Structure 1
Amino acid sequence: MFLPAVHSEPDRNVLLQFIKENPLGILITGIGSSQHDFLQCTHALFVLDQPDESNPPRHRAHIAKQNPQVKAMLETVDDKPPGVLQLDQDVLVLFNGRHDHYVTPKYYTETKPDTGKVVPTWNYSAVQVYGKLSLYYDSRTPEAGEFLAKQLHDLSEHTETSIMGYTGGDRPEPWKVADAPERYIELMQRNIVGIEIEIRTLQGKFKMSQEMRPGDREGVVKGFAELGGDTGMAISALVKERGELHDRMKQEKV
């Protein structure tokens, strides 16, 4: 990811919260394989384990056992340990923000009428994670079976409550893994593998017009607000927020 200083987000807590709010990640690997492509990617929902002083942050997911990316991973080790495989090389996971959009030069109400030296762009936010991957590939082993059971429980709890808002009371009750037949869940677990990634490098980018002149930023904020809808209002707010943060940081350096 290209990370100009003006777009980079260095706050680790902000980046971890971003992952919690945008759990659909793209797992990317580069693995030499005799049968599968070197570069593989898979969309997966991740659960973040919050870090503490003694443990690095980790995030977890599960994907289909028949996925070519899994087969390429398993091919890297001849003598596999029971249930858990650790890859030697780092993997990359990319998380995209919920809202992104094209930015027309017409929004630049300061520079466009002044010099005309403006071009279109695209506003977006993203976080990327590099880390070491452990693959829990055999649900019949105690370690992998326990990991997958916890993964399915934690993921459904997070998505049902945090994303759907199913918290009970005045809201609907959340769906639970226990609502499905036990035998059915066992069969499902045999067809998936668990993924755990120890986060070693965490980088984030908010490209939200913060580098533009104040009048241009105001034009972008107004333009997206007038565009309306969830995306228009969200980006309008983000441009305003990121612009103010940029100005504060710039003032502090002065």
Structure 2
Amino acid sequence: MYTPPAFRDDDKGSLRATIRAARLANFVTATADGPFATPLPLFLDESEGEHGVIYGHLARANPQWRVSPVGDGLAIFMGPDAYVTPSWYATKQETGKVVPTWNYVAVHAHGPVEFFDDPGRLLEVVNRLTDLHEGERASPWAVSDAPPDFVQAQLRGIVGLRMPIARLEGKRKMSQNRSAADRAGVAAGLASSERESDRGVASLIPS
């Protein structure tokens, strides 16, 4: 990921927070047949290794797991993002030398990829993913709510993914390269947007 120094995020707590907050990631592998990419819900186990371990699962019919990766895999986690119009910049009125851009947060996790189909390990991954995304519901659904034989049949249709994180890259592009007046204009413009996601980004613009 191309990351100019002004936008680099090296804070481990910030990087992990972005990973935890991302509800859907993109899992990418390079292979001799070309790149493969699959959108997946993934979770981070912070108790394993220096940077943690990424877990998830793919459909067994997905060819990505059958083709040996060349080098490390890549999990891409996107945080808040918003379009930035040059109309919000004070510089527009001063010189007119402005162009549109996009503000966003992204984390790239790299590491060796392991696929597995052991039923016990798969069930643990499915349980943890389910508990993670059902946990905030008033009446959470649990895997154990489904008949055991049905669950076992479903497990036969998936393959587990384990990726110990060898390297993390973080990027937080929030108008840090603009003047204080331009940043204030971006924050005000986003804060007045009808999009909830834009208003969330507004709070991340440094003053």
- Which bracket does the TM-score occupy, shorter chain normalised? over 0.9
**Partners of 2:31 and 2:70 within 8 A in 1:** no
What TM-score do you get using the length of structure 1 for normalisation?
0.78
What amino acid is aligned across from residue 93 of structure 1 in structure 2? A
- Which structure: larger Rg? 1
1:107 alignment counterpart: 88
Aligned partner of residue 186 in structure 1, secondary structure: helix
Gaps of at least 5 residues in structure 1 are: 74-86, 138-143, 167-171, 245-254
Q: State the alpha-carbon separation in 2 of the partners of residues 70 and 44 from structure 1.
A: 13
Aligned length: 207
TM-score for both structures, normalised by structure 2? 0.94
Paired residues for 1:2-41 under 5 Å: 2-32=2-32, 37-41=33-37
Indicate conservation of the 8 Å contact 1:133/1:197, yes or no. yes
Q: Is 2:175 the counterpart of 1:187?
A: no
2:51 and 2:167 in contact (8 A); partners too:
no
Give me the whole-angstrom Cα distance separating, in 2, the residues matched to 1:26 and 1:199: 15
Runs of 4+ in 1 over 6 A off after TM superposition: none
1:154 — aligned with what? 128
Higher relative contact order (CA 8 A, sep 6+): 2
Higher helix share: 1
The 2-side partners of 1:119 and 1:148 are apart by 48
Alignment match, 1:58? 53
Task: State the superposition RMSD in angstroms.
Answer: 1.5
Q: What is the identity percentage for the equivalent residue pairs of Structure 1 and Structure 2?
A: 33
Among 188, 202, 205, the alignment partner of 1:236 is 202
The structure 2 residue matched to 1:127, chosen from 103, 107, 110, is 107
Judging by fraction of residues, say which structure has more strand: 2
Secondary structure of the corresponding residue to residue 77 of structure 2:
strand
CA distance in structure 1 between the partners assigned to 2:13 and 2:114 by the alignment: 24
Q: Distance in 2 between matches of 1:25 and 1:90?
A: 16
Partners of 1:88 and 1:215 lie apart in 2 by: 46
- 1:135 Cα deviation (Å)? 0.7
